[in-house]
Amino acid sequence: MVDVNSRIVGEVRVVGAGLLGASVGLGLRAKGVDVIVHDASPANLRLAIDYGAGRAARDTDNPTLIVVAVPPDVTAAVIAAELTAFPDALVTDVASVKAAPLAELLATGADVARYIGSHPLAGRERGGAISARADLFIGRPWVITPHGPARFGEVGVIEDLVLDLGAVPVTMTAEQHDSSVALVSHVPQVIASLLAARLNSAPESALSLAGQGLRDTTRIASSDPELWVQILGANSAEVVRILHAYREDLDAIVAALEAPDVAGARRAVAESLAAGNSGVSRIPGKHGQDRRFGQLVVMVDDKPGELARLLTEIGEAGVNMEDLRLEHSPGAQIGLAEISVLTEVEERLAAELEAGGWKIAGAWK
């Protein structure tokens, strides 16, 4: 069903038919927006159109807004080309680094008065139009990085785009953005990849013991290496600054564990772990350690209909499930469902589920 209550007036041209570009197209089309899709690859373009992300370009197109969703190493060049080709359009991009494209545009003399950078903090491990979703951005932060020549009304157009797609607009400078995403996105990608790389030489017997903790900490390690080489290179200064600090932290832990009986060694380890507790508690929303929510881990038999039955009984208990995570190893006869609920109903729900025959396990690590 199409929702025609879009805030955007006129055509929107999306350049780049990958995950983000196609998702923008799907989300805007659901709002009734006329979306034009363009991609340098004819095959990618046809696939995005087939999935409903928009239509092919016409000679009569006159977009009011252009969204550039191409790899970081060509973002500035494509923005410059779009500014020239459509002199009445406002251009934004969704690249994960903001200072470098702006600097490159300024150096080339492009009309940056019609350019405002932006970046949705959303994605999936797999790319391409085949992975695109109209709801990809719902509830996610979308940073807008206005610069000197940008006018208030034009910033408002980008905010309209963000709100139409269900995201939450956040305004930062390009430098603030790059520093922030280095900490919360780019460095975690490096750490997750390095951790997962250690598994290549691990024996199968060790891997068979893997639990949800390893899966959680390595999930993003399956991301596209070619894309991440570009992202990390474009934001290298900020990433290196944080990695140096990580190296100091690791050196301190290594030193303490090399001589665990030396006075102060165990305290050093404990304080490092406690700092992690403190840090994770600051992550906003229910996917951090939000103290508003408690977790129940329920054992679910590996047979058809059991998970659906569990969710039905939670609903019948009058409890709203805030989040759900599943763990099931191939060949195992049971799975584990971690249910996040408000702390005030946690004890009651546990009692009702146990009365119904469900087994409640401890929280996994």
Confidence category of residue 196, pLDDT binned at 50, 70, 90: very high
pLDDT on residue 11: 97
Same domain, 33 and 134: yes
Q: Is residue 133 part of a domain?
A: yes
Write down the mean pLDDT value for the chain.
Answer: 90
Q: Is residue 131 part of a domain?
A: yes
Q: Is residue 3 part of a domain?
A: no
In sequence order, the 6+-apart residues with CB closer than 8 A to the CB of 282 are 288
Same domain, 165 and 185: no
The CATH code of the domain that includes 314 is 3.30.2130.10
pLDDT on residue 313: 92
Residue 164, CA atoms < 13 Å, CB-side half-sphere: 26
Same domain, 72 and 183: no
CA pair distance 328, 180, nearest whole angstrom: 34
Last residue of a domain, one of 280, 305, 324: 280
DSSP assignment letter at 358: P
Same domain, 83 and 198: no
Confidence category of residue 338, pLDDT binned at 50, 70, 90: confident
Average pLDDT on 41-58 reads 96
Can you say whether residue 138 is alpha, beta or left, with left for phi > 0 and alpha for psi between -120 and 50 degrees? beta
Same domain, 144 and 28: yes
Same domain, 16 and 164: yes
Confidence category of residue 283, pLDDT binned at 50, 70, 90: confident
Q: Is residue 127 part of a domain?
A: yes
Average pLDDT on 180-194 reads 96
Q: Which domain holds residue 145?
A: 12-173
Q: Is residue 7 part of a domain?
A: no
Same domain, 191 and 229: yes
Confidence category of residue 224, pLDDT binned at 50, 70, 90: confident
In sequence order, the 6+-apart residues with CB closer than 8 A to the CB of 75 are 68, 93, 95, 101
Q: Is residue 4 part of a domain?
A: no
pLDDT on residue 78: 98
Same domain, 90 and 166: yes
The CATH code of the domain that includes 112 is 3.40.50.720
Residue 362: pLDDT over 80: no
Same domain, 210 and 225: yes
pTM of the predicted model, to two decimals?
0.78
Residue linked to tokens 């000197």: 148
CA pair distance 122, 69, nearest whole angstrom: 13
Number of domains comprising the chain: 3
Least confident of 2-16, 47-61, 89-103, 250-264: 2-16
Last residue of a domain, one of 140, 155, 173: 173
Average pLDDT on 96-110 reads 94
In terms of Cα–Cα distance, which of 1, 20, 58 is closest to 142?
20
Same domain, 123 and 169: yes
Name the 3-class secondary structure at 66: strand
Asked whether the beta carbons of 140 and 121 are under 8 A apart, the reply is: yes
Last residue of a domain, one of 247, 280, 313: 280
Confidence category of residue 331, pLDDT binned at 50, 70, 90: low
Q: Is residue 285 part of a domain?
A: no
CA pair distance 267, 260, nearest whole angstrom: 10
Same domain, 63 and 153: yes
Q: Is residue 93 part of a domain?
A: yes
pLDDT on residue 3: 54
Confidence category of residue 152, pLDDT binned at 50, 70, 90: low
| Measured CA distances, 174 to 96, 100, 178 (Å) | 11, 9, 6
The CATH code of the domain that includes 237 is 1.10.3660.10
Residue 289: pLDDT over 50: no
In terms of Cα–Cα distance, which of 35, 66, 52, 71 is closest to 130?
52
Residue 124: pLDDT over 80: no
Confidence category of residue 115, pLDDT binned at 50, 70, 90: very high
Same domain, 59 and 109: yes
Environment class of residue 346 by beta-carbon count within 10 Å: exposed (0-12), middle (13-18) or buried (19+)? middle
pLDDT tens for 205-214 read 999 988 878 9
